[in-house]
Amino acid sequence: MTDISTSDEPRGRFTEPGPIAIIDIGSNSVRLVIYERLARNPTALFNEKILAGLGRGVGATGRLGEENVATALRALVRFRRVCDHVGVIKLHILATAAAREAENGADFIAKVEGICRAKVQILSGRDEAFYSAMGVYSGFWRADGLVGDLGGGSLELVDISAHGIGDGRTFPLGGIRLQESSEKDLALANEIAKEELEKADWLGKAKDRNFYAIGGTWRSLGRLHLYQQGYPLHVMHDYTVPAEVMIDFCEQLMRDDLSNEPSIQVISKARRALLPYGATVMRQTLLHCQADQVVFSALGVREGYLYDQLDETGKKQDPLITAAHELGVLRARDPSYSAEVVEWSEQAMRVAGVDESEGERRLRIAACQLTDIGWRAHPDYRGQQSLNIISNGGFVGIDHAGRAYLALTVFYRYEGLMDDALSPAIRSLSNPRLMKLARILGATLRVAALISASMNGVLLKSKLSLVNGKLVLALPAELADMQGDRLTKRLNQLGRVMDLEAEVRVL
């Protein structure tokens, strides 16, 4: 028997060129993220943080606290050891406001470099704003609006659009700094935030556009809101809330005792004290910029820094399609089959009279890349397992309605068009048009799987077309033996979704 443990076959991840790592030394947290490799959609192999609170007291004393420094350095010893164990080929270390501004920051950085055996890049406020914007560019499809990155020591705001990065500025409004400068007086904190943000008259350019919220404290705000609303998908990236609703929510958090909030357990205890200050800054930012909606981003400075390391070809790749392709490569029976399904399914869309938008087409391509990821599961659970993997997967460049479309399509591909077996929650994330397109594509993929056995080389020899108002599946003579009752039933099901009669013909 072959020892597969020594095989050169993929073992659940890509190995070249990588792994690479980033240590992010912020004013509140110190985090290590080890990524599989430098790629358009970087996947984390390992992620750990500690809340060292390096920024505490810097505003008053001008120095990093000895205890906070000791906590950070102990964590860095462990982080370096983890990097060595995993085989990291390149370690990037980024330091932000606290290390940049403290009198003893240089001494701290020297110790960090000694422990980590790597150079520390101290980011300026402009650098932080730039990489935050790059993070949003890398994680959203056609991002447009104002990016806000709230750390422990500072707030970076920068305008982004299809034309590039616009105005940007750093404000001394990080959660820890604001808490200390206001002496824990929320009313005073509100006045400080208002006064600082009034200095940026360009914020009004974000009116009626998106506000992209980055940073641990703001993600905690979003998570708390998500759980309070009973939102069906616990994925923070691209969780979207109308600006006026978020303003009301921030005012509630500024006013009420958070210990009485039923959902407060979803926020770590270490984060809770800063939530009212994060809410204060969020509220004032939204009032000043008049954005239409708040979009929470799981990607920020680290991912923006990695995105900036890519060559121009890498930057132009679609992150969703890239991630879907890679998951298919790791899980599908025959990864090359997905390209055939993309081409073949275009025929089905034409027959159905679907005029796909660019966004809908890219969703269809991604769904085709994911069509076979559940094949190793028990047949009774392939659909549900695929739905869970896709709806909660680490995809970017896709909103929650798009996630629902992908998940539903692959569910239908395995289970048939059985809406009764679906949770109403996942359907609620989509919209009627995407639901219809998911049913058409899911039924199409079911027909394709019977013709091809989900393997490359056969599918494109067949053809779907509209003949005299009827859906016709044409098989060449060499595929005549592919006919059967099951194929006919699946084609009839596809025809019903299209409101057409269907027929299999051998040419």
Q: Is the pLDDT of residue 506 over 80?
A: yes
Element at 99 (helix H, strand E): helix 97-101
Integer CA distances (angstroms), 127 to 76, 132, 137, 171, in order: 23, 8, 15, 13
Integer CA distances (angstroms), 260 to 245, 270, 273, in order: 20, 17, 14
CA nearest neighbour of 289 among 169, 407, 391: 169
Alpha-carbon distance of 333 to 116, in angstroms, equals 41
If pLDDT is split at 50, 70 and 90, which confidence band does 7 have? low
Q: Supply the pLDDT for residue 9.
A: 53
Q: Is the pLDDT of residue 4 over 60?
A: no
Q: Look at the block and give the residue holding tokens 């098989």.
A: 475
Q: What pLDDT digit, counting tens, does each position of 255-303 carry?
A: 988 887 778 888 988 889 999 999 999 999 999 999 999 999 999 999 9
CB atoms within 10 A of CB 481: 9
Q: Look at the block and give the residue holding tokens 């269809």.
A: 364
Q: Supply the pLDDT for residue 425.
A: 77
Q: What pLDDT digit, counting tens, does each position of 413-446 carry?
A: 999 988 776 777 777 888 999 999 999 999 999 9
CA nearest neighbour of 482 among 451, 449, 448, 444: 451
Q: What pLDDT digit, counting tens, does each position of 73-96 carry?
A: 999 999 999 999 999 999 999 998
CA nearest neighbour of 118 among 95, 151, 96, 141: 95
Work out the angle at residue 216's Cα, subtended by the Cα atoms of residues 114 and 197, and round it to the nearest 5 degrees.
Answer: 105
pTM of the predicted structure, to 2 decimals? 0.93
